[in-house]
Amino acid sequence: MKRSYLKKAIIALCIPLLFMIVSSCEPLATGFDDVEDAIMYEKTEKAKTPDPDSTIRVMTWNIRFGIGRQPWFGDACGDNTVFKKEEVMPGLEAVVARIKEVKPDILFLQECDVKSNRTAYIDELQYILDNTYFNYAAYVSEWKSEFIPSDGLGRMDMGLVILSPWPITDAKRINLATREDQAGIVNYFYLHSCIVSGRIKIPGFKEIPLLNIHASAFATDDTKKKHFEEFKAEMDKLQAAGEYFIAGGDLNELPPGSDSTDFCYEDMCPGESFHQSGDDPQHKDGSNYTPEAEWLRPIYETYKCAFPLSDYQQNQQAYFTHTTRPEHAWDRTLDYLFTNHRWRAGSAKTHQEFFNESDHAAVSAEFVLIKE
């Protein structure tokens, strides 16, 4: 009798424990499936949706997690890892102001933080959604960790976003190739590049698939090339299906034919040395694009960039979208918009006036809609 009670008691204990084990186990760093659902945001009180007649403005912008041009240890020779709320909010407000100034219909964001320790646990996407006219957002994490035990980074959730006044359907996170030039433990806690995809349907026009990418910035092997191949493969799939898409983001790569391809000196921090005999590494990670000069050509040859390559090569400086240091001018192009349909001629803009809001300038262009 006592044994059967004991058995029942053990079962009574184990079932809720099992449930909790399944429910509560969360690894320190999040891994990702090849394809998984995006996290969806939606406003309860919707803003009026635009009623375009023939084109929509699309913008892509790496917003550097809202810290503006403040030095950060990871990319601008800074000492700071974390920022207080009062240090982040002005940057975020400035980003929102610029978005409202340009008023894109579709917005691709990269490096948007959602409750990360480094940005005082602000849900930046929630803030942008609450303070702009967008009604929907699709978010995917590219860097997500419960706790990164390095440099005081702590909790991290940074990702890509598609924002739209129209519903976004079928939003997915598409994982890109993992870096192979990092130690396993570093790779475990570091970011995993990806694409966020989705679809929008504007009344009266054909559905538009969207692809927003943030390719690797600091890979020293051919990971970035794989990212471009995977990005192109996604575009090729849509092309093969007879669909007209908008694709873009921060590719962290120069257009083919760029005059300057090595920025080690421009990006060098005090105490660093590159290009000299005995220097190891010879080049700063993420600053030497020379071996990668042709990596974007297959995409350029197949699809239409918002600013054609010929335009870029005639006046490269006008299309620069990035610089690592706030005391330098824009010095390279890393941000793009592509389509397999049409951009309205002359509509592409590189928003170099967004100098204080991020270390990337936004790129926007008008996409010509296709009637149903």
List interacting residues with other proteins (CB under 8 A): 2-3, 5-6, 8-10, 12-17, 19-26, 37, 39-45, 73, 79-82, 84, 115, 117, 120-121, 126, 129-130, 146-147, 149-155, 185
Least distance in Å: CB of 92 to other proteins?
Answer: 15
In this structure, how many other beta carbons lie within 10 angstroms of the beta carbon of residue 352? 15
Q: Which residues contact 259 (CB under 8 A, 6 or more apart)?
A: 316
CA-wise closest residue to 215 among 206, 226, 204, 207? 226
Q: How is residue 364 written in tokens?
A: 């926007």
Residue 196: name the closest of 263, 243, 246, 151 by CA.
246
Nearer to other proteins, 84 or 237 (CB): 84
C-alpha to C-alpha distance for 32 and 5, rounded to whole angstroms:
44
Please, what is the minimum distance in Å from the beta carbon of residue 11 to other proteins?
8
Judged by CB, which is closer to other proteins: 117, or 333?
117
Residue 51 or 79: the one with the smaller Cβ distance to other proteins is: 79
Cβ proximity to other proteins: between 5 and 278 the closer is 5
Instruction: Kindly state the tokens that stand for 325.
Output: 């240091």
CB of 21 to other proteins, least distance (A): 6
Q: How far is the CB of 314 from other proteins (least distance, A)?
A: 44
Task: Write the single-letter amino acid at 13.
Answer: L
**In whole angstroms, how close is the CB of 246 to other proteins at the nearest point?**
24
Query: Residue 7 or 103: which CB sits closer to other proteins?
Result: 7
Q: At its nearest, how many Å lie between other proteins and the CB of residue 227?
A: 25
Nearer to other proteins, 61 or 190 (CB): 190
- CA 226 vs. chain centroid, Å, equals 17
Q: Are residues 299 and 256 in contact, defined by beta-carbon separation less than 8 angstroms?
A: no
For 123-144, the DSSP string reads BHHHHHHHHSS--EEEEEEEEE
Residue recorded with tokens 């990337």: 360
Is 156 or 254 the residue whose CB approaches other proteins more closely? Answer: 156
Alpha-carbon distance 133 to 365, whole Å? 19
Give yes or no for a contact between 351 and 58, defined as CB atoms under 8 angstroms apart: no
Nearer to other proteins (CB atom), residue 131 or residue 347: 131
- How far apart are the C-alpha atoms of 360 and 319, rounded to whole Å? 11
Cα of 184 vs its chain's centroid, Å: 23
CA 24 – CA 356 distance, rounded (Å): 42
User: Would you say 340 and 352 are in contact if contact means Cβ atoms under 8 Å apart?
Assistant: no
Shortest approach of other proteins to residue 44 CB, angstroms?
A: 5
In the numeric block, which tokens belong to residue 61?
């912008």
Nearer to other proteins, 47 or 318 (CB): 47
Q: Give the DSSP H or E segment for 247.
A: strand 246-250
- The minimum distance between CB 26 and other proteins, in angstroms, equals 6
Minimum distance of other proteins from residue 188's CB (angstroms) = 12
